[in-house]
């Protein structure tokens, strides 16, 4: 019996969001909250890990593949992060470690056939409020059933090339075919959250993504989300969002996105 496939991908982590409104990515603020420095966003840790299923299955994974990642410990800017994948019965077991610390775990698989597409009509578009009119993030503004959408934006070539460089992506199909990276798609879920509510420092803690079709440079990307749960865990307040990501209003990914929107460190 042959040994299971084992893939490894090592990058120097980069904090794409160092200037973000979310100060969990700011060295000074993160240090006050007990971290060693500003956190590399979970979206980018997801992006590092996604390199491996795409290496394993190629373009097909970006058309119908599924991936879940859970983030336990931070990855810090400038430190080495190693994503690994071990073949299991029907997919890959994923992990991301940084300097000997387990930071994320997950799974990926490639179904034999594409599943049923979610109906666009089930995900209504509601424009987010003006930034200075956003309500504070709490149990009311993020109540179950609340619709959260991101402003549609054209995904241009500069943004595409910049993101591939930022996440140290080396697979050639993204640049050659102008295909949007899973990380750039997942960022739409964060946009839907921050464009609708005013957040203190917050943390993305996990996502499950099912690819539905390819998104490409030149298309207009957006997220249509709905809050499915708002709850407390270990003193934190969390929100689960059911998100349909679109390119030119065509479904390209379906995501269950989870974030801590109120850290226990900041609770009154």
Q: Cα–Cα distance between 72 and 67 in angstroms, integer?
A: 17
Q: Quick: pLDDT tens for 61-117.
A: 999 999 999 999 999 999 999 999 999 988 999 999 999 999 999 999 999 888 889
Q: Quick: pLDDT tens for 223-239.
A: 999 999 999 998 899 99
Domain coordinates of the chain in residue numbers? 6-266
User: Quick check: helix, strand or coil at residue 66?
Assistant: strand
Q: How many angstroms separate the most distant Cα atoms in the chain?
A: 62
Q: Which architecture does CATH list for 6-266? A: Roll (3.10)
Q: Quick: pLDDT tens for 6-31.
A: 899 999 998 886 655 655 556 676 66
* For residues 202-211, average pLDDT: 95
Whether the CB-CB separation of 220 and 154 falls below 8 Å is answered with yes
Q: Cα–Cα distance between 218 and 43 in angstroms, integer?
A: 22
CA distances from 127 to 4, 140, 145 (A): 47, 18, 16
User: Quick check: helix, strand or coil at residue 260?
Assistant: strand
Q: Quick: pLDDT tens for 239-259.
A: 999 999 999 999 999 999 999
pTM above 0.85, yes or no: yes
């Amino acid at each position: 019996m042959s040994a299971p496939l084992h893939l490894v991908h090592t990058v120097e982590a980069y904090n794409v969001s160092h200037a973000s409104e979310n100060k969990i990515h700011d060295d000074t603020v993160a240090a006050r909250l007990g971290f060693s420095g500003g956190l590399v966003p979970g979206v980018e840790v997801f992006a590092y890990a996604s390199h491996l299923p795409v290496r394993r299955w190629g373009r097909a994974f970006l058309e119908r593949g599924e991936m879940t990642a859970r983030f336990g410990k931070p990855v810090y800017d400038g430190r080495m992060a190693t994503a690994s994948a071990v073949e299991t019965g029907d997919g890959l077991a994923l992990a991301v470690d940084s300097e000997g610390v387990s930071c994320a775990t997950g799974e990926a698989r490639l179904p034999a056939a594409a599943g049923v597409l979610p109906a666009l009509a089930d995900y209504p578009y509601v424009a987010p409020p003006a930034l200075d009119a956003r309500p504070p993030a709490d149990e009311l503004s993020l109540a179950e059933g609340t619709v959260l959408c991101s402003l549609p934006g054209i995904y241009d070539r500069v943004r595409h090339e910049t993101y591939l460089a930022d996440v140290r992506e080396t697979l050639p199909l993204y640049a050659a075919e102008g295909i949007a990276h899973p990380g750039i798609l997942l960022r739409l879920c964060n946009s839907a959250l921050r464009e609708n509510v005013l957040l203190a420092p917050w943390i993305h803690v996990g996502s499950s993504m099912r690819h539905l079709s390819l998104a490409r440079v030149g298309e207009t990307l957006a997220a249509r989300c709905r809050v499915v749960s708002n709850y407390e865990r270990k003193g934190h307040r969390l929100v689960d969002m059911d998100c349909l990501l679109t390119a030119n209003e065509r479904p390209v990914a379906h995501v269950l996105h989870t974030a801590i929107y109120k850290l226990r460190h900041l609770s009154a």
